Chains A and B, each alone.
Chain A
Amino acid sequence: MATTYRIAVIGDWESVMGFRAIGLDTYPVTSAAEGKERVKELAKDGECAVIYLTEQLAREMSDVLNHYKDELRPAIILIPGREGSLGIGRDNIQRAIERAVGADIL
């Protein structure tokens, strides 16, 4: 199956503008609510395989993120926004480990 998918980047305008230059679909949003809507929309039409989301936004939309965590598509990956890394991405890995092992072992 050779369906082609798109890659989306969601975040504040300053953080996502660069990604437009390398050919990704960018969706500048200004609030977490808007971000949630956008993620749901993109997940629904199923054309996006990967969504990069800035941590600044992700902080306020963990409910949406948890919903898509166990789905094969889309993969929502957190990236640091312009204001720097908040460590949420790293925490998520930690949480995955805790979930799998039942304890924090690394």
Chain B
Amino acid sequence: MANITVNPTRMELTRLKGKLRTAQRGHKLLKDKRDELMKQFLDTVREVRALRAEVEEELMKVHKSFTVASALMSSEALEQALLYPKQSVELTQTSKNIMSVNVPVYHFQTKTMSDSDIYPYGFAATSGELDTAVDALGRVFRKMLKLAEIEKSAQLMAEEIEKTRRRVNALEYVMIPNTQEAIRYITMKLDENDRATTTRLMKVKDMILKEAIEEKRAADARAKEAFQAQNP
């Protein structure tokens, strides 16, 4: 690794060890988060696919009914019939927290209570096909709202999973190895310093010893000389 510009000191070593511990714990937590999110995400996606297929199929039926209705009625009459809606929908949104992702939950309230009371026109001037179409649309609408809810959830979760995955990878392949490398570098450097100190001390000790021995020898020689001078 090329990024080693750390000071080989004990303080730095302690700091890096702390950092490594935190990184490893974070890595584990994020990995758990990713796995759980993925599980939830796949469940949601399966649901979305099934519901979307259903909604699309039903909407096509609705469109078909509308096409027939518009063939039977003039477009002005059709527009007039649908111009002022009787039904109105109020939507409230709350959010649910799935693994720290806020996903929307929709609740809706319709103004007219009964499903059979939604036709905004009189029956005299309109075709029966229009009734069928509006009725079918009223029913498919619930599914459409559910679809909106889970599809949005899936999108938001996909984003969060992508982010989490990147973090996990960054920790696993960059942050943790780099820190370990730095720790190894410092440990080796410190050991090297230790050894250098030991050898230096040994050398110093040798020198001191040698000096002491030479002094001793000199003293001995002087004593010997003195002794020989006294006893010729």
**CB-defined interface of B13-39 with A at 8 Å, one 1/0 digit per residue?**
000000000000000000000000010
> Please, which residues of chain B bring their CB within 8 A of the CB of A15?
63
User: What chain A residues lie within 8 Å of B89 (beta carbons)?
Assistant: 7, 22-24
* Contact residues in A for B119 (Cβ distance below 8 Å): 21
Q: A50-B145, A93-B49 are in contact. Are A17 and B102 (CB under 8 A)?
A: no
Q: A17-B78, A99-B162 are in contact. Are A73 and B104 (CB under 8 A)?
A: yes
Q: How long is the Cα–Cα vector from A70 to B93 in the complex, in angstroms?
A: 17
Q: How far is the CA of A14 from the CA of B64 in the complex (A)?
A: 11
CA distance A90 to B141 in the complex (A): 19
B87, B152, B154 pick with most chain A CB within 10 angstroms: B152
The answer to whether A18 touches B88, judged by C-beta atoms less than 8 angstroms apart, is no
A84 and B60 within 8 A (CB):
yes
CB pair A21–B82 under 8 Å, yes or no, is yes
Interface string of A1-26 (1 = CB under 8 A from B): 11111110000001101111111100
For A21, list chain B residues within 8 Å (CB).
Answer: 82, 85, 87, 118-120, 134, 137
The CA-CA distance from A4 to B152 in the complex, in Å, is 18
Q: Please determine whether B145 and A20 come into contact, CB atoms closer than 8 angstroms.
A: no
- Chain A residue contacts of B162, Cβ below 8 A: 99-100
Partner of B66, one of A18, A73, A84, A99: A18
Interface residues on A, range: 35 or more
Interface residue stretch chosen among B51-59, B180-188, B207-215, B222-230? B51-59
CB-based contact B66/A93 at 8 Å: no
Known: A21-B137, A93-B48. A14 touches B158 (CB 8 A): no
- Count residues of chain B with CB under 8 A from any CB of chain A: 62
Shortest distance between the CB of B132 and any CB in chain A (Å): 11
Whether, in the assembled complex, A35 has its beta carbon less than 8 Å from a beta carbon of chain B, the answer is no
Report whether B111 and A80 are in contact in the complex, using a CB–CB cutoff of 8 Å: no
Contact partners of A77 in chain B: CB under 8 A: 144, 147-148, 151-152
Residues of A within 8 A of B110 (CB): 23
Asked whether A85 is an interface residue with its Cβ less than 8 Å from the other chain, the reply is yes
Smallest CB separation, B222 vs chain A (Å): 88
Partner of A4, one of B60, B91, B144, B156: B91
**Contacting residue for B158 out of A5, A90, A96, CB 8 A:** A96
Residues of chain A within 8 A of B133, CB atoms compared: 18
CA distance A97 to B88 in the complex (A): 35
Q: Does A49 belong to the interface (CB within 8 Å)?
A: yes
- B residues in contact (CB < 8 Å) with A: 38, 41-42, 45-46, 48-49, 52-53, 55-56, 59-60, 62-63, 66-67, 70, 78-79, 82-83, 85-95, 102, 104, 106, 110-111, 118-120, 133-134, 137-138, 141, 144-145, 147-149, 151-152, 154-159, 161-162, 165
| Interface residue ranges, A against B (CB under 8 Å) | 1-7, 14-15, 17-24, 49-50, 52, 69-70, 72-73, 75, 77, 79-82, 84-85, 89-90, 93, 96-97, 99-102, 106
